[in-house]
Amino acid sequence: MRTDKLASLRGPLVLAILCGIPLILWAGSVSLEARFTGRFATLTSIAVLLAYAGTSAFALNLVLGARLRPVEALLGGLDRMYKTHRILGQAAFALLLGHVVFILAGRATISMDAAVDLLLPSAGWTVFAGVLAFAGMSLAIVLTLFARLGHEVFVYVQRTFGLVFLAATYHVFTTPGAKEGSQALNLYLAGIATLGIAAFAYRSLLGNVLVRRRKYRVVTVNRLDEFVTEIVMEPIGKPLAFSPGQFLFVNFRSLALREQFHPLELSVRRRVFSIRAGEIANQFHPFSITSSPNEPTLRITVKAVGVYTRALRRLETSAVAVVEGPYGSFSRNVTNPRQIWIAGGIGVTPFLSMARSLDGIPRSIDFYYCVEHRPEGHFLDELRAIERSRDDFRVVLVARDADGFLTAARVAEEHSDLSSADVLICGPPAMIDSLRAQLHAVGVADARIHAEEFGFAKLGRKAR
């Protein structure tokens, strides 16, 4: 259990060390006494430290945004990587804000005019590039964290960070100062900046060329009810290899969607500003894989909760799907044969792939499928068929209107071995947070709880 806990901390610890290395190199390059003598020198030195740490955090944040497989593995899955990405972005902004505050405070010890002059073009392109970079970063951060953006605009805002970083890097390397006394510091900053720029180019500029993707053709569109749609695809060429419980990013090349999403259509509805760029935007959306790895076709199941997912109900057969992945480690690291699965609504999707892949695998699984109303229990007949074919797989449908919300107390009462089981949960964030706290209360160790929010990718605002 402690190993799992340490594994979850390993990635953030590595990132913290990488951000701290330039501070150590800076401290060892020149006598610290000279750098902290007098208010001006002290404030300027603190500003420089914040700039180096902030620039490193900024570069690493671009690396996290590139969705690289080794980085995903280091951080324990794409959902954790995106959460770390958000926290690291906030840290980078806070550090660079501190740099601006302290550099201005240092100049203010000379005169207020000297401080104000740093913000004007007259200070020179080297300094003003830093001003523009920070202004651009501030705007992007505010839009990302506080504005309710449409998915397309959110993606475009994220992509601007790479351009902002280029300006910030120019400012760092053309500003005279401590780097001149330390070749190691110069090399480190150059290396980490190059890494960030390369990650940005890989994902945002050259993604269509460098990112490995596969093509599929839509063969069936099953509209299970007025909200839920199952999409079945066959491979064009080599199929995607994946593990049960993983997800992928999909871009549909569809005539029906092109008619739905006209290029550069602007709309403001309920205070949400969106650019509907359709196929021109080449946007990829995340969906859990519901098929077994052994099936000849690839399946996903979509619930209409937004503009794009509602439009997918019009998807036609023969449309081309470009898929990227697979991602996620929801069930890959769970080796305990005793498991309890809990799905909330459309959070059933990864469990469908896992249930369809149980042939020959000895496991004891109790599956709680939570829905608002019983008719929303899609795929229940198939799950019941799997239940009848195995003695170690049990399905319990929990309809909120009839049974209330599922609680950990109920699960503990029905399973005396709960504390020794691994519990896998997929559903809305509020459900996951509530059940996690309840499971802790009934004695389930945190390392035995594995959760995946199906809305993890909506980083610009809280998932509803």
Residue 29 has what pLDDT?
80
How many angstroms separate the CA atoms of 357 and 353, rounded? 6
Of 307, 323, 303, the C-alpha closest to 252 is 323
CATH of domain 214-327: 2.40.30.10
Whether residue 244 contacts residue 330, with contact meaning beta carbons closer than 8 Å, is answered with: no
Question: pLDDT per residue over 4-59, tens digit each?
Answer: 455 567 889 999 999 999 999 998 887 778 789 899 999 999 999 999 999 999 99
Across-strand partners of 396? 368
Residue 294 has what pLDDT?
93
Q: Do domains 2-209 and 338-453 have the same CATH topology?
A: no
Q: Which fold has domain 338-453?
A: Rossmann fold (3.40.50)
Stretch 277-302: mean pLDDT, rounded? 83
State the Cα angle at 313 between 312 and 314, rounded to 5°.
85
How many angstroms separate the CA atoms of 393 and 18, rounded? 46
- Least confident among 88-92, 203-207, 406-410: 203-207
Higher pLDDT, 354 or 272: 354
- Least confident among 75-79, 269-273, 398-402, 446-450: 269-273
Peptide bond into 326 cis (omega under 30): yes
Position 152 confidence tier, pLDDT thresholds 50, 70, 90: low
Helix (H, G, I), strand (E, B) or coil at 74: helix
The percentage of the chain sitting over the pLDDT mark of 90, rounded to a whole number, equals 67
How many angstroms separate the CA atoms of 265 and 261, rounded? 8
Q: Which residue bears the tokens 């390392």?
A: 447
Question: pLDDT per residue over 177-199, tens digit each?
Answer: 656 668 899 999 999 999 999 99
How many angstroms separate the CA atoms of 105 and 100, rounded? 8
Question: pLDDT per residue over 94-105, tens digit each?
Answer: 999 999 999 999
Higher pLDDT, 328 or 358: 358
- Whole-number CA gyration radius for the chain: 25
Position 76 confidence tier, pLDDT thresholds 50, 70, 90: confident
- CA 38, chain centre distance (Å): 44
pLDDT at 144 over 80: no
Q: Which fold has domain 2-209?
A: Four Helix Bundle (Hemerythrin (Met), subunit A) (1.20.120)
Half-sphere exposure of 456 (CA within 13 A, CB side): 26
Residue 77 has what pLDDT?
80
Which residues, 6+ apart, have CB-to-CB distance to 372 below 8 Å? Answer: 345, 399, 400, 401
Higher pLDDT, 178 or 253: 253
Q: Around Cβ 191, how many Cβ atoms within 10 Å?
A: 11
pLDDT at 117 over 80: yes
Which residues, 6+ apart, have CB-to-CB distance to 131 below 8 Å? Answer: 118, 119, 123
Alpha helices in 28-150 (DSSP H): 32-35, 39-65, 69-75, 78-108, 112-117, 125-146
Domain chopping of the chain, boundaries = 2-209, 214-327, 338-453
What is the chain's mean pLDDT, rounded? 87
Stretch 232-251: mean pLDDT, rounded? 95
Per 3-state DSSP, the chain is made up of helix, strand and coil in percentages (nearest 5) of 55, 20, 25
Stretch 312-335: mean pLDDT, rounded? 91
Q: Which helix (H) or strand (E) holds 155?
A: helix 151-174
Residue 148 has what pLDDT?
66
Amino acid 21 reads: I
The percentage of the chain sitting over the pLDDT mark of 70, rounded to a whole number, equals 88
Whether residue 328 contacts residue 453, with contact meaning beta carbons closer than 8 Å, is answered with: no
